[in-house]
Structure 1
């Protein structure tokens, strides 16, 4: 078997550039360097796998002599999966370090004041709802349709006018 000189040179360049870039302090450059080294490793596995041949699907035939060894192919697939997993992990580290850098000295700590503000806002909301209900009741009590308010004790019928159906003396529906 003769290996392609172009692939050998490309593999060597990928290893050299990848390792050089990985020595930088930036996580982004470490990620790029790791990806270059991963691709160089895939080329290395391809180069040492032997000559090309037929697919190793059916054995016990006369074509067994020209079959390719499946182990390097499996190793290359495994290397691709591992490279992808580590790339995802380093990307998560890069995002997390960026997020912490944006927060500054505060870090991940959420101040207790936030809880107090939320509780005060909730109480103010309930107070506003109670005030709105009281205002609606005052408007109903002052309106023409409900001169004395619902359930007035001075009402001779003793019933709530707001729930009565029918018409009043002027022909309006109540």
Structure 2
């Protein structure tokens, strides 16, 4: 299970870095989202997840890590998901405002702008 989680984290980080290095704001937002997913998986895997072990204590079982999974990383990931959702919403709003102000989707604002065609004579009146 550790190899699968480590591979998933590596693939998510690689895809996130690739998308964040692109010059479009939509790609940047997707890259940040994938990086958030990778970070959540990394935090979750720090709690030594075990199949079939509950994150709470049961009556009659000693409180050792052999009998339950550490609940702290799960709580941290849940909090991180909520924060990441809010930050993604803020980033989308900023990207939409930047697009409206600059007429471009590029992060650095260096996209070649196509000039608008001149108005026809009948439209000028």
TM-score under structure 2 length normalisation: 0.69
Match among 9, 12, 20 for residue 10 of structure 2: 12
Counting helix residues as a fraction of each chain, which structure ranks higher?
A: 1
Gaps of 5+ in 2: 104-125
Question: Cα offset for 1:63?
Answer: 4.8
Indicate the structure whose relative CO is greater, using CA pairs within 8 Å and at least 6 residues apart. Answer: 2
| Residue 55 of structure 1: aligned partner | 55
- Alpha-carbon separation, structure 2, partners of 1:56 and 1:73: 11
Q: Which runs of 5+ in 1 are unaligned?
A: 103-174
Note the C-alpha offset of 1:4. 3.1
- 1:9-59 residue CA offsets vs partner (Å, 9 max, x unmatched): 11101101102211222211110000010111111122221142223156x
Tell me the matched-pair count: 99
Task: Tell whether the 8 Å contact from 2:57 to 2:63 is kept in structure 1 after alignment.
Answer: no
Q: TM-score, normalised by structure 1?
A: 0.51
Superposed displacement of residue 71, structure 1: 0.8
**Distance in 2 (alpha carbons) for counterparts of 1:72 and 1:6:** 18
- Which entry has the higher C-alpha Rg, 1 or 2? 1
